[in-house]
Structures are given as structure tokens and as C-alpha cells.
Amino acid sequence: MAERAAAARRAGAKTGEASSERVGKTMRADGTAPKFYERVAVEREGGDGTWRVTLDGRTLRTPRRNEYSFATKGLAVGVAMEWDAQDDRIAPFTMPLTQLSATAIDHMWERETRELHVETLLKHFRTDVVRIRSVDEVVASKQAEIHDPILRWARKEFGEVTVSDSIFGPETSDKTTEVLRKRLHAMCPWELTCAFALSAATKSLLIGLKTLRGDLSVDEAIAAARVEEETQIEEWGLVEGGHDLDQLDIRVKVAAPVMLMKLKRGE
């Protein structure tokens, strides 16, 4: 295996490619690809002062072959560490900062892509977990405790935001929808990428936006997203290989965009 990995790295050096596009082209059935580099570094661009990641001295590029160009050294180092941590195989699912950065750089600046993501968030806002109350009194009580502060904030920021015990969720006024739409479109590609990732992970646009602005920690965002699940665990117990994996999965999906934005801001 070591010899095959070395051969793949030598092949990569000959082609001169240091693109994550190469990973997709050589992906195996297990979701990994052969490693094609040996040395990972972070360098500063001379012209605009941005930072880049290099593999064996070649600039790392996105699947669309754009440079991974970062405004801060911290974010470049974060992405570089993901590539440096790979063994003989590259496992993209262990590289959330790289994936989020590629989305921001390759896609989220395009008008059609932005509109698609914004409208998708607005479409699912009706079933935002913060807006749906359980018919179970114990769960509903905990939802009120954790979600009511988020609702009070949302109403100050966006206008009328109602709740319902229907699985279909409450209606949303056109005025509130338009305020949210403008707020989302005002975001830069990096912010919108992270807002979408957070909202998808927590099943809540409100939790995603409040976390993105730093008003909710990773733990608080996860707790707000998993009120019903954690209440069930308290009552019935944790199922190993099920609940525990869900907890780990959401932690990665929430922590990654939070960390990306902190590194991008130089925090």
C-alpha cells in the first residue's frame, strides 16, 4: 500500500496538479482517493497579501481550478492542516474547512447559485425547528425554555415569527420573508456558505443565523437543534451506533462553519 501511495504521489508531481479536482477523479468506492503529495505548506502571495496552501510547492486549487486564496493566515493554516492530516488515502469527509471554502470560492458568488440557496432556506423556514412545538408537554416545555430567547431575537430582527404545533409549521408573512431574503443576499459568499451549512445541520435558519453572528456557541446551537432528540434520550436512553453518531455528526457540521468564520475574521 505504501508503494502504491508513493507511486500516486510521484504521478501527481509529474502532472503538476495540486487540485482537489484530482481527488474527485480518483475517488474510490469507499469515499477516499489516493494521496498524490508529500509536503503541505502555507505561503503568502506577494501582490495582494492573501494566503494560499501548496502541495509539494504547487498551489492548491478547487474542483473548478480556482486558487484556494485566503484573507487570513489562520484560515489557510486550518485548510492546510486538513490536507496534512491525510494518510495514504485522502478522505474528503474529514476536510470540512476545505469543502466549505471550495463552495464559497467556486459557487456562492454566482447569482443563480446564491438565489437557489437563499430560496431553499426560505422554503424550509416554515418547518424551522424553533417554530414547531411538540404536542408532548415535556418536550414543548424544554423547547419553550431554549427556543423562546431565539424567537424574541428573531422578532426584533425580522418581524413577525410565529410558532405552531403542526408538523407543517406556521405560515410566514411576506414582510418577514422579504426581510430575511434581503439579509441573506447581503451576505458575502463565505457568510452565505456558512449560514446555509449551519441551517442545514440544525434544521433551523434562525439557529444558523444566530450562531453565525456569534450569539450562540456550538454547544448552544446543538442543544437548540436537538431538544426533542435529547429529551427522548433522557427518557429512553442512548442507542449506541445511532444517537451517539448523530451527536458527533452535528457537532462537526456546526463547528466547521463556526470555525471557518472565526479564522476568516482573524479571531
pLDDT digits (tens, 9 = 90+) for 78-121: 999 999 999 999 999 999 999 999 999 999 999 999 999 999 99
pLDDT at 230 (0 to 100): 86
CA dihedral 35, 2, 30, 17 (to 10 degrees): 20
Given pLDDT bands bounded at 50, 70 and 90, which one contains residue 7? very low
CA dihedral 9, 14, 15, 17 (to 10 degrees): 50
| Spatial distance between the Cα atoms of 208 and 254, rounded to a whole number of angstroms | 9
What's the mean pLDDT in 235-264?
A: 85
pLDDT at 108 (0 to 100): 97
For the domain made up of 2-95, the CATH class stated in words is: alpha beta
Given pLDDT bands bounded at 50, 70 and 90, which one contains residue 242? low
pLDDT tens digits along 31-67: 899 999 999 999 998 677 899 999 999 999 999 999 9
pLDDT at 79 (0 to 100): 97
pLDDT at 8 (0 to 100): 40
Residue 3, pLDDT > 70, answer: no
Paired with 65 in beta bridges are: none
pLDDT at 248 (0 to 100): 87
What's the mean pLDDT in 238-265?
A: 86
Given pLDDT bands bounded at 50, 70 and 90, which one contains residue 126? very high
pLDDT at 14 (0 to 100): 41
Look at residues 48, 62, 73, 74 and name the one whose alpha carbon lies nearest to residue 101. 62
Three cell numbers at 215?
Answer: 450569539
CB 64 within 8 A of CB 106: yes
CB 35 within 8 A of CB 23: no
| Spatial distance between the Cα atoms of 161 and 150, rounded to a whole number of angstroms | 10
CA dihedral 4, 9, 15, 19 (to 10 degrees): 120
What is the pTM (predicted TM-score) of this model? 0.88
The residue among 23 and 124 whose pLDDT is bigger is 124
Name the residue with cell 496552501: 53
Residue 11, pLDDT > 50, answer: no
Three cell numbers at 130?
Answer: 424553533
pLDDT tens digits along 186-227: 999 999 999 999 999 999 999 999 999 999 999 999 999 999
Look at residues 119, 106, 72, 114 and name the one whose alpha carbon lies nearest to residue 261. 72
Residue 121 one-letter amino acid:
L
| Spatial distance between the Cα atoms of 14 and 170, rounded to a whole number of angstroms | 58
| Spatial distance between the Cα atoms of 62 and 21, rounded to a whole number of angstroms | 6
Residues of the chain with CATH 1.10.3580.10: 111-264
Under DSSP, is residue 75 helix (H, G, I), strand (E, B) or coil? helix
Residues of the chain with CATH 3.30.2180.10: 2-95
What's the mean pLDDT in 124-152?
A: 96
Residue 261 one-letter amino acid:
M
CATH for 111-264 is: 1.10.3580.10
